[in-house]
């Protein structure tokens, strides 16, 4: 169906993040050793999961890890209980209590922008920091796209387990980079150089040389824009394993991976953006109070500029795209209307393919359907604008709900004044 295709083409997916347990499952497929674990979403499932993990791995201690789309969980705090987001259970008898301290709570970390994220799932993982013949070591390793050089880059460091930005700032000499030409792929000598720079020898060296190409293949194979392992861990018996996994998938590659697209966790995203996405609309949430509905990305940018120019700030912008009909207009208004910060709505349409009378019919229908939280100011120009304005004028919508202005600047002024 033409309409469906149009909606798919306009789907907004800059990138999509995965949970730690999902990233680890991908790594395992590519032959990487990981800290094993079982994910649960109820307290009742915790102890049976821990028992199963002991059968599979022999572990007698467990690491309970909140699964949210943000790093720094170990140092983060659960609002309701004061627990950290990653905690150690020293025995099966502690598992239930540790899980209860995290699951269902709101976890705040340095990466959650001040607001706690609801923890819907926890990973019960094996303890891999057990004592043995050598010291354990925490490294850092990530693969990402270096746009400047047009190549992939492996960034790695002996200083793992901590904030990598801190390492970059205070001890930049401990951060290494290895560029990889995507046409040639990762070369054997590069993996050996990495293992050498990390100060490894013997079995640990050999295991690192095996680890690096598997991680690189995983990054390339799933069209990731970033695959970060922190800490990348050397056990006391010289195994090299991924203890954490942070993955961002390139939205433009997602159509090649329906299995990965299905892993999307909408509970981690802005609810208004999810709603817009489902309606096939491009919606971007911003910090101000003027809701903006426009057609086309270029007009979106100039609308934001004009709102700023007249002293206002946009709460969001919603791009209804090229071929808006009455239905799409109505759901677009629904989306803007569900944004609590919106104090006025600025509809700025320049009809090209989008026809003025369709826009007008959509608005009339939407105003009938929803209780608007804010007044609308509309500037309608371009194809069939005259007819559109006539429809709006004759619809009998009171001025307190909708007014029309002939130019973009005047409409912006009116919308900003209403928002104040
Ligand atoms: P992050 O804080 O969100 O990056 O979560 P991580 O998965 O990196 O875990 C945070 C910290 O928990 C690690 O840096 C370790 O210090 C600790 N940790 C993780 N796994 C284990 C484990 O198996 N045993 C012990 N004792 N500590 C662990
Ligand atoms: Mn980590």
**141-150, 267-276, 313-322, 346-355: which has the minimum mean pLDDT?**
267-276
CA of 277 to the centre of ligand 1 (A): 35
Tell me, using a 6 A CB cutoff, whether residue 73 lines ligand 1: yes
Query: Residue 3: its pLDDT value, please?
Result: 36
Instruction: Tell me the C-alpha distance between 398 and 115, whole Å.
Output: 39
pLDDT in tens, 74-94: 999 999 999 999 999 999 999
* Least confident range of 28-32, 110-114, 243-247, 337-341: 110-114
**What pLDDT was estimated at residue 323?**
62
Q: Which ligand is nearest to the CA of 20?
A: 1
CB atoms under 10 Å from CB of 266, counted, come to 12
Query: How does residue 413 score in pLDDT terms, banded at 50, 70 and 90?
Result: very high
Return the residue whose CA atom lies nearest to atom 14 of ligand 1: 161
Whether ligand 1 lies within 6 angstroms of the CB of 236 is answered as: no
Catalytic residue among 228, 273, 357, 358: 228
Residue to mutate, 74, 111, 130, ligand 1, most ligand atoms under 8 Å from C-beta: 74
- Residue 19 exposure: Cα atoms within 13 Å on the Cβ side: 22
Centre of ligand 1 from the C-alpha of residue 65, in Å: 8
**Segment 240-252 mean pLDDT:** 95
On the question of pLDDT at 122 being above 60, the answer is yes
Ligand with an atom nearest the CA of residue 126: 1
State pLDDT tens for residues 165-178: 899 999 999 999 99
Rounded CA gap, 113 and 268, in Å?
A: 13
pLDDT band at 285; cut points 50, 70, 90 = confident
Distance 76 CA to ligand 1 centre (A): 12
Q: Ligand 1 centre and the CA of 91: distance in Å?
A: 17
Mean per-residue pLDDT for 150-158?
97
Best of 35, 243, 245, 246 to mutate for ligand 1, by most ligand atoms within 8 A of CB?
Answer: 243
Ligand 1 nearest-atom number relative to CA 20: 7
Percent of the chain beyond pLDDT 70? Answer: 96
- Among 57-61, 230-234, 254-258, 325-329, the minimum mean pLDDT is found in 325-329
CA of 243 to the centre of ligand 1 (A): 7
Centre a 10 Å sphere on the Cβ of residue 99 and count the other Cβ atoms it contains. Answer: 27
Residue located via tokens 């069209």:
223
Least confident segment among 140-144, 315-319, 320-324, 328-332: 320-324
Return the residue matching tokens 């709900």. 401
Calculate mean pLDDT across residues 352-378: 88
Q: Strand 37-40's sheet: what is its strand order?
A: 37-40, 122-126, 62-66, 86-89
Looking at the DSSP assignment, which residues form a beta bridge with residue 224? 249
**Any ligand 1 atom below 6 A from CB of 176:** no
Query: For strand 240-242 and strand 224-234, is the pairing parallel, antiparallel, or unpaired?
Result: antiparallel
Known active-site residue 55:
no
Kindly state if the Cβ of 88 falls inside 6 Å of ligand 1. yes
As a whole number, the mean pLDDT across the chain is 92
The pTM of the full predicted model, rounded to 2 decimals, is: 0.78
Q: For residue 199, report the phi and psi dihedrals to the nearest 5 degrees.
A: 80, 20
What are the DSSP calls for 37-92, one per residue? EEEESSSTTHHHHHHHHHHHH--SSEEEEE--S-S-TTT-EETTT--BSEEEESSG
Q: Is 117 in the pocket of ligand 1 (CB under 6 A)?
A: no
140 included as an active-site residue: yes
Q: State the ligand closest to the CA atom of 63.
A: 1
At 324 the pLDDT is: 63
């Amino acid at each position: 169906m033409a309409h469906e295709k149009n909606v798919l083409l306009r789907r907004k997916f800059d990138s999509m993040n995965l949970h730690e347990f999902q990233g680890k499952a991908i790594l395992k497929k590519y032959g990487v050793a990981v800290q094993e674990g079982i994910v649960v979403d109820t307290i009742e499932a915790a102890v049976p999961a821990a028992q199963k993990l002991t059968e599979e791995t022999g572990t007698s201690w467990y690491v309970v890890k909140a699964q949210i789309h943000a790093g720094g969980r170990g140092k983060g705090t659960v609002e309701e209980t004061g627990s950290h987001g990653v905690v150690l259970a020293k025995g099966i008898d502690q598992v239930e209590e540790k899980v209860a301290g995290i699951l269902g709570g709101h976890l705040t970390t340095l990466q959650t922008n001040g607001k706690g994220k609801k923890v819907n799932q926890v990973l019960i993982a094996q303890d891999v920091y057990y004592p043995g013949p050598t010291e354990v070591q925490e490294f850092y390793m990530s693969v990402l796209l270096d746009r400047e050089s047009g190549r992939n880059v492996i960034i790695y460091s002996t200083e793992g387990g901590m904030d990598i930005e801190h390492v970059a700032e205070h001890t930049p000499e401990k951060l290494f980079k290895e560029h990889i030409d995507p046409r040639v792929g990762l070369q054997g000598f590069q993996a050996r150089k990495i293992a050498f720079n990390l100060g490894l020898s013997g079995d640990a060296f050999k295991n690192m040389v095996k680890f690096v190409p598997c991680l690189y293949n995983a990054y390339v194979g799933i069209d990731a824009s970033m695959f970060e392992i922190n800490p990348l861990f050397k056990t006391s018996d010289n195994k090299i394993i991924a203890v954490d996994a942070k993955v961002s998938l390139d939205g433009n590659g997602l159509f090649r991976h329906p299995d990965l697209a299905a892993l999307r966790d909408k509970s981690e995203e802005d609810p208004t953006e999810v709603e817009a996405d489902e309606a096939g609309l491009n919606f971007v949430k911003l910090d101000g109070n003027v809701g903006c509905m426009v057609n086309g990305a270029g007009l979106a940018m100039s609308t934001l500029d004009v709102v700023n120019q007249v002293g206002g700030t946009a709460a969001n912008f919603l791009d209804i795209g090229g071929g808006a009909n009455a239905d799409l207009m109505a759901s677009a208004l629904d989306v803007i209307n569900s944004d609590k910060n919106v104090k006025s709505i600025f509809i700025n349409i320049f009809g090209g393919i989008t026809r003025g009378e369709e826009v007008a019919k959509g608005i009339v229908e939407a105003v009938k359907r929803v209780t608007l939280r804010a007044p609308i100011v509309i500037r309608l120009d371009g194809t069939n604008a005259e007819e559109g304005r006539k429809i709006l004028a004759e619809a009998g919508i009171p001025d307190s709900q909708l007014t029309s202005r002939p130019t973009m600047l005047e409409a912006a002024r009116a919308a900003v004044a209403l928002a104040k």
